[in-house]
Chains A and B, each alone.
Chain A
Amino acid sequence: MALTQAEVLVGIKEIVEEVAGIPAATIEMDKNFTDDLDVDSLSMVEVVVAAEERFGVKIPDDQVSELATVGDAVNFIVKVSA
C-alpha cells in the first residue's frame, strides 16, 4: 500500500531529530538537509538507512545525492512505496 506524503513527513522529521538534533516541529518540506538541518554527507547515510528500515523501501545510493530537501526525500519514498 502506498504511503501518504503526510505520514512519510512525520517519519522523516523524527529521523532527522534523532540524527541531527533538530526539533521535529521546525522541519518542513522545503528544508535543505545540508544547509538548514546540519545533516552532512555521513549523517545523510544514517537518515537514508533509518528511512529504509522505517518505510520498508529501498533508496539506491545513486539517488541519495538527488535528495537535497526534506520534500525530495518524502516524495521519493512515497513514489517508490506505490
Chain B
Amino acid sequence: MTRRRVVVTGLGATTPLGGDVATTWSALVAGKSGVSTLPYEWAGTLSVTIAAMVAIDPSEVMERVEMRRLDRSEQFALIASREAWKDAGAPEVDKERLGVVIASGIGGVITMLDQYDILKNKGARFVSPHTVPMLMPNGPAANVGLELGARAGVHTPVSACASGAEAIGYAMEMIRSNRADIIMSGGVEAAVHALPMAGFAAMKALSTRNDDPTRASRPYDRDRDGFVLGEGGAMLVLEELEHAKARGAHIYAEIAGQGLTSDGYHIAAPDPEGSGVRRAIAFALLDADLTTRDIVHLNAHATSTPVGDVAEANALRLALGADVDQVAVSATKSMTGHLLGGAGAIESVFIVKALQERLAPPTINIENIDPAVTINVVRDKPRPLPAGEIAALNDSFGFGGHNVVLAFRSY
C-alpha cells in the first residue's frame, strides 16, 4: 500500500505583524518589525521592557462573553483556526475523521497568574470556575476541537519552542496512519506577562535592547543579545491528498516529512556539536524522500541568542553539506519575535507561503553578520525562489533538547 500523502489546504494566523495571514505575510516580506515597548504597568519592574504583541488584540474580533471564558492563548487558537477553516472552504466533513492538534509551550500562564492574584487578594471563593479549563495547556486544542466538533482526536504535544512544529508533524502522522482525513494543526502562545518574562530574563535569554525595540531581534548579527518574546498563533489545515482533491480544495503545498530527535545534552543550552539538529534534518529528508539538493529554502529556528544561532548554522552545514550554499535561509523571528509554542506553526505558514509565492522572506537587523555564520542568509530584502518543483525545511528547537524539522514540498 502506498503511503497516504498530506497537503496543506488552509492557513490562519494572528501575529505581531497582523491579524491574519495576508497582513502578516505582507509585513513580513516588507521587513517590518512587530516588536515594541510593553504598555503594561508591570514592565517597569523588569530588566526587559520590550516584546512582540499581537497586532490585532482579540478584543477587536471576539465577543466579550466568549473572551472571558478563554485564556488569551485559547483566544489566539480560535481566531487563527476560524481563519484557517474558512480558508480551507469550511468543508462539510465526517467529524469522526476530523482531528485537532494544537500546541502551546506554556499553556494558560496568564490565567494562572491572574487567578493566583485573586486567590491571594480576595480569597479562594473568588477564583473563577473557568480557571482550570483556561490554564490547561490542551485548552487551545480542546476549544478548537469543540468548535469544529472534531471526533478523530484532539492532541497537544508539548516541547517548549518546538511544540508548534511537533503539533504539525503529529497531525501529518495522524493522517498518514489513517486515523483522520483532515486536521486543524498549529501552535499558540500568550506569555507576555511579568513572571515568564522575568524567568526568561533571569536565564539571560532575552534581548535587553530596550531603547531600540524594532532592532532588538537580530539573528546572525554580531551584536545580538537574546530573543524577543512574541505572542500569537498560527494554524494549518492538513488534509489527505485524495480527500482534498475529491472536494476540489485549493492545495497550497505538501507536507512531506518530519525528523525528530533529542540532544541528551543540556536542559536549555544547544548542543554545540549540533548532532541532534543534524540527525533531525537527515531524518526529515529521508521521511520526505528528498535529497539535500531539493532544498531551496529553510526557515531557521534562529532566535537571536549568541550561542543558539551559530550552533544551528553549523549544524545546517553538517546536515546539508555543500548544498547548504544553495539554501536561502530566513530567520523570521527578526520580525515576529519568538512565539515559543507558536513559532513552529507561524514559521510553517511562512514556508507554505514562500513555496507558493516563490519568495523567501528577509532577515532584518543584520548590521554586521557574525563571521561564524557561514550559511546563505536572506538579508534585508526577500529573495525569489526558483520555479519548478522545490522543497523547504522548517527548523524548530525547544528547551529540553527537542529538535523538530518539517519538510514541505511545492504542489
Contacts and interface: CB of A to CB of B under 8 A. Distances in A.
A65 to B, nearest CB: 14
Given A19-B68, A42-B130, A46-B128, 7 more contacts: A21-B63, A42-B129, A43-B69, A45-B129, A46-B129, A49-B125, A53-B126
The 4 lowest CB-CB distance pairs between A and B, nearest first, are A21-B65, A45-B129, A42-B129, A42-B130
B64 interface: yes
A45 B132 CA distance: 14
Interface string A32-55: 000000000011011001001100
Interface in A1-50: 19-21, 42-43, 45-46, 49
B233 to A, nearest CB: 24
Interface of B: 63-66, 68-69, 125-126, 128-130, 133
A49 B126 contact: yes
Interface residues of A, number: 10
A45 B124 CA distance: 13
B128 A20 contact: no
A80 B130 CA distance: 27
B130 A20 contact: no
B173 to A, nearest CB: 34
A11 B408 CA distance: 57
Nearest to A38: B65
A21 B64 contact: yes
A46 B126 CA distance: 8
A43 B133 CA distance: 13
20 contacts: A19-B65, A19-B68, A20-B65, A21-B63, A21-B64, A21-B65, A21-B66, A42-B129, A42-B130, A42-B133, A43-B69, A43-B129, A45-B129, A46-B128, A46-B129, A46-B130, A49-B125, A49-B126, A52-B125, A53-B126
B136 to A, nearest CB: 14
Which of the listed residues B65, B66, B68 has the most CB atoms from chain A within 10 Å of its own CB?
A: B65
Contacts of A43: 69, 129
A5 to B, nearest CB: 25
A71 B129 CA distance: 23
Nearest to B122: A53
Contacts of B68: 19
A53 B123 CA distance: 12
Contacts of B133: 42
A54 B128 CA distance: 16
A32 to B, nearest CB: 18
Contacts of B130: 42, 46
A32 B69 CA distance: 21
A20 B65 CA distance: 6
A61 to B, nearest CB: 10
Contacts of A19: 65, 68
B122 to A, nearest CB: 9
A36 to B, nearest CB: 16
A42 B66 CA distance: 14
Contacts of A52: 125
Nearest to B128: A46
Contacts of A53: 126
A4 to B, nearest CB: 26
B302 to A, nearest CB: 42
Contacts of A45: 129
Nearest to B65: A21
A33 to B, nearest CB: 14
